[in-house]
Structure 1
Amino acid sequence: MKRRLVKGILALLAFIPLVGCWNAQEIEKRTIVVSMAIDRNESGGLTVSIQVPNPRQIAGGSGEGGGGGGGGGAVEVYSGSGPTLESAFEELNRKSIYPMFLGHMQTLIFSEELAKQGIAPILDFLRRDPEIRRHMYPIVVSGNAKDALTVQPKLEQIPTYYVRNSIESQIDLERVYDMTLGKAFVDLSHPGKQVPLFYYFKASKDGFVYDGMAVFHGDKMVGALDPTEMNIVLNVREKKAGRGVVAFCPGGKIIFGPNKVKRKFTITNQPKAMIAIELEGEVLENSCNFTIKDERALEKVNKIIARQYEQIAREVTARAQRELKTDVLQIRNYVYAYYPQIWKRVNWETMFPHMPIQVKYDVNVKRIGLKAQ
C-alpha cells in the first residue's frame, strides 16, 4: 500500500512541469518523449534516439483510431547524432516541430557497447536537466539501443509502457531489483555503494526478454548477472525473496518459491564477511523419489534447497571477486555504515577480491501443496 502511494505521488510530480501550461493548445506545443536510447556511433560520438507517441494512432486519441496493441504507427522514433549529448539533442530539436519535453520519460536505454565504455558524461548531462525524471528505469540492451525503441510487443500500443509495466509488476513481487535513475545517481555519489545495477534486456522483433541485471563498477558496465544469480543479490542486498529456485534431488527436482527473507551480517576484523539468510517459502513442484509426508522428509527438503542456494551464492561471490572484481552484494555499504574503523583501515577496491565471504542459508518450507508429495 505504501509503495503504491509513493508511485502515485511520483506520477503526480511528473506532471508538475506542465502546471504552467494552462490550456491544451500550449501543452500540444511540446514533443512528448516517453523513452530515450543512446548508442555510440561510428565516428565516436553519440546517437540519441527518442520514442514519441502518435496520438492519432493510440486508442482513445483524437483523429484516427488506434489499432490493436503494438499496431504500426502508435509511436514514432527520431534520431540525432553529435560528438556530445547536447549536440545530438540540438539535431533532434531541429527535426522536431516543437521543443522536446522529457518530463514523461519512462525508460532510458543504453547499448551494451556504450555502457562498457562508460556513461559518466551522459549521467552528468541528465543530472543537470531539471526536466529529467529521477523515477525512470535505466536499461542496458545487447545490440543497438535504437533497435529497442522499434520493438512492437502485442500487449501494449506504446512499447515503453510494456517494459515499464513489466519491471514494476516484478518489483512488486520482489523478483527483480528496484533501480531507478535517481537511485543510480545516489549509488554513484555514495562512498559505500558505487555499484549501480541496471536492468539488462534482450530485445527481439516481438518483445523484450528480461535477462538479469547489468553490473556497473562506477560508471562502466563490467558484466551481467542472470535472474538466478540475482536471487542471491536480492536476498543479501535488498532482503527480498527473489524468484523460484530449482533444487536437484535424487530422482528429480524440487521447485521452491520463497516469500519471506531475513538477513544478518557479521564482519570480523580480518575483515571477513559472514552472511546468514533465513528463507521461508513453499514447494511448488516435487519430482524426487521420496514423498514429503513427515518432519524428517521436510527437514531433508529444507537442506536440499539450502545447499542449492549456497552453491549459487558461492558462484556469485566467485564471479564478483575474480571476474567482475566488483562488490555486487554491497558488503562495503554495511562496513561503511557499521564498521567505520575497518572502512578507514582498508582499501576496499584492492581488498575485496581477496576477502573471505561466506553465505549460509537456513530454509524453512512452510507449505508443501494440497497433496503431500
Structure 2
Amino acid sequence: MRHNKRSLGLLLLFFLLLPLLSGCWDAMEMERRANILAIGIDEADEKEQKKDGEVAHLKTSFLKPQEKLIKVTAQIAIPGRIPLGPDQGGGKKPVLVMSVVGHTLEDALMNLQQQVADELFLGHLRIIVLNENVAKHGTERLNDLLRRNPEIRRTAALVVSKEAASEYMKLVPGLDRVPSLYLADMVDNLSALGRFPPSFIGLFWTIYSSKGQEAYLPYLTIKQKGILELKGLAYFKGDKMAGKTSPLEIGIFMAVKGDSKGGYSAFVQVPGTDQMVMVRVRSRKTKMKIELKNGLPHIRLKIRYECEIDEKDSPKIKINDSKVLKSIEKETAKNMKKSIEKLISTTQTAGSDVFGFGEHFRAKRPQYWNREIKTKENWERAYQQLTYDVKVDTLIHRVGMKAK
C-alpha cells in the first residue's frame, strides 16, 4: 500500500513537470533568422517599379492596390559579425543591405523574403526611416502592418529624412560599427540632451490616434558621408506631413509643450550696441491656462526661461554689469516671445496642433468639446481660429568663469 502511494505520487509529479519540458518546443536559433535592424522607405521610381516581384498578386489575374509602389531598403544583421566588444579588425561588414519594391510594406517584405533563405524577423528592428515624400503622401498605408505585427517593438525609432531613406541604410558612421544602432542611439540621445522631445513609434501612434493633437517626428539630413544632422521637427496633419521647422524652433516647440530641460543656444544682440552674446537655455517652466473668449478657444501661456551666457563676441560687453545683464534678459525674452508666436501661427496655417492644445480643452472643457468640437477634423478648423497671449520671462543665472 505504501509502495503504491509513492508510485502514484511520482506519477503525478511526472505529469505536472511534463508541460515545463515543452517550453522551448518552437524556439529558433538566432543564426536561423534574418534579423532586420533598420528599414528605409522611399517612393519607387519608374525603373524600380518594373521590379515588382508578383509574390502577393499576379499582374494579369489578381487585383492589386492602386497606390504608387514603395521601395523598402533593409539592413539585415549578418550572423557572427555584430560586434559585441572591442573592434578586432578584419573590415567585414556587420550588415547586409537589400532593396525591394512592393505595393504595401507587407508586399515588399514578402518580396524580400523570396530573396533571403532564413525567415525574416522584426523583433530587433531599431529604426524606420521615412523619406519626406512618403511622409507627405501619408503613413496610413504603413501603419497597419507595423501596428498589427507583434514582433515590432513600440520603442523603435521613427524619423523623416530629407534624402532618400535608402541612403541612411548605406551609411558608414565613424562612431559606431553598426549603422542601425548609431541611427537609433542618435534619436534616443536627442531627448537626453534636450534637443528633441521623447519620440518613438508607439508615441507617434498614440498622438496620431488622439483627437486634440497632431503627431511629430525628427527630421534628419545627411551633411556628409556618415554624418547626420537634426534638421528640424516634421509636423503632421492626420497621417500626412504638413511641414517642418528649423532646428532652433525645436527648442521653441519644447518650451510651449512644457518640456523643462533646455538644450539650445541662440545669439542675442546687446541693446544699444552691435555686439552679440550667446545665450543658452538651461531649463524652462511653462504654465498654460485655457479659456473661451467670444466663444472661441483661447490660450494663455506663461514661460519662464533659466539661462546662462556661454559666449560674447567682444570684450567691450560688460556682462558683469547688472544693467547690461537686465537688458540682455529683456531682449532674450522679446526674441523668444516673437519666435513662439510665429511658430504657433505657422502651425495654425497648416491646421496642425502639434502642441496638443486640443487635448487640454478636451480634458478641462469637456462640455465645450462635446458640444462644439467632437471630432479631430473639427478641432483642426477650430485650431486655426484659436487666439493666444504669450508672456515670457528670462533669468540669466550664470555668465561663466574667466581668470584675470
Task: State TM-score, norm by structure 2.
Answer: 0.80
* Equivalent residues in 2 for 1:21-100, closer than 5 Å: 26-42=29-45, 43=49, 44-59=68-83, 66-67=89-90, 73-100=93-120
The letter for the 2-side match of 1:365 is I
> Does 2:247 correspond to 1:245?
no
Superposed CA deviations along residues 290-334 of structure 1, whole A, max 9, x for unmatched, are 312243332212111111211211221221122x22112221122
Is the 1:244–1:256 Cα contact (8 Å) retained in structure 2?
yes
* Equivalent residues in 2 for 1:323-334, closer than 5 Å: 324-334=350-360
Rg larger in structure: 2
**1:161 & 1:199 partners in 2: Cα distance?**
16
Partner residue, 1:254? 277
Is the 1:255–1:284 Cα contact (8 Å) retained in structure 2?
yes
**2:174 & 2:108 partners in 1: Cα distance?**
31
**1:137 & 1:60 partners in 2: Cα distance?**
22
- CA shift, 1:162, in A, is 1.5
268-277 or 204-213, which deviates more:
204-213
> Does 2:301 correspond to 1:275?
yes
**1:53 & 1:162 partners in 2: Cα distance?**
14
Is the 1:39–1:46 Cα contact (8 Å) retained in structure 2?
yes
Superposed CA deviations along residues 112-148 of structure 1, whole A, max 9, x for unmatched, are 1111001112111100000001001101111321121
- CA shift, 1:177, in A, is 1.9
> Does 2:181 correspond to 1:157?
no
The letter for the 2-side match of 1:276 is K
User: Cα gap change, 1:21/1:245 in structure 2, threshold over 3 Å: closer, same or farther?
Assistant: farther
- CA shift, 1:246, in A, is 2.0
**1:328 & 1:188 partners in 2: Cα distance?**
10
Give the unaligned 5+ runs of structure 1.
1-18
* Equivalent residues in 2 for 1:97-112, closer than 5 Å: 97-112=117-132
**2:25 & 2:328 partners in 1: Cα distance?**
61
Partner residue, 1:368? 399
The total of aligned residue pairs comes to 347
Superposed CA deviations along residues 216-267 of structure 1, whole A, max 9, x for unmatched, are 1111001111211111111111423241222223222221122221111122
The letter for the 1-side match of 2:211 is P
Match of 2:217 among 198, 215, 235: 198
Match of 1:132 among 122, 134, 152: 152
**2:99 & 2:25 partners in 1: Cα distance?**
27
**1:253 & 1:92 partners in 2: Cα distance?**
55
**SS where residue 292 of structure 2 aligns?**
coil
Match of 1:335 among 361, 372, 381: 361
Is the 2:36–2:74 Cα contact (8 Å) retained in structure 1?
yes
**SS where residue 239 of structure 1 aligns?**
coil
Is the 2:275–2:313 Cα contact (8 Å) retained in structure 1?
yes
**1:274 & 1:372 partners in 2: Cα distance?**
44
Match of 2:387 among 347, 356, 370: 356
- CA shift, 1:55, in A, is 4.3
Match of 1:310 among 337, 352, 366: 337
**1:333 & 1:363 partners in 2: Cα distance?**
28
Task: State TM-score, norm by structure 1.
Answer: 0.86
Is the 1:53–1:158 Cα contact (8 Å) retained in structure 2?
no
- CA shift, 1:66, in A, is 4.2
Partner residue, 2:8? none
Partner residue, 1:290? 317
Is the 1:21–1:27 Cα contact (8 Å) retained in structure 2?
no
Give the unaligned 5+ runs of structure 2.
1-22, 50-67
Is the 1:262–1:279 Cα contact (8 Å) retained in structure 2?
yes
Superposed CA deviations along residues 75-104 of structure 1, whole A, max 9, x for unmatched, are 211122221222111111111121111111
User: Cα gap change, 1:22/1:286 in structure 2, threshold over 3 Å: closer, same or farther?
Assistant: farther
- CA shift, 1:275, in A, is 0.7
**1:92 & 1:66 partners in 2: Cα distance?**
30
- CA shift, 1:20, in A, is 4.8
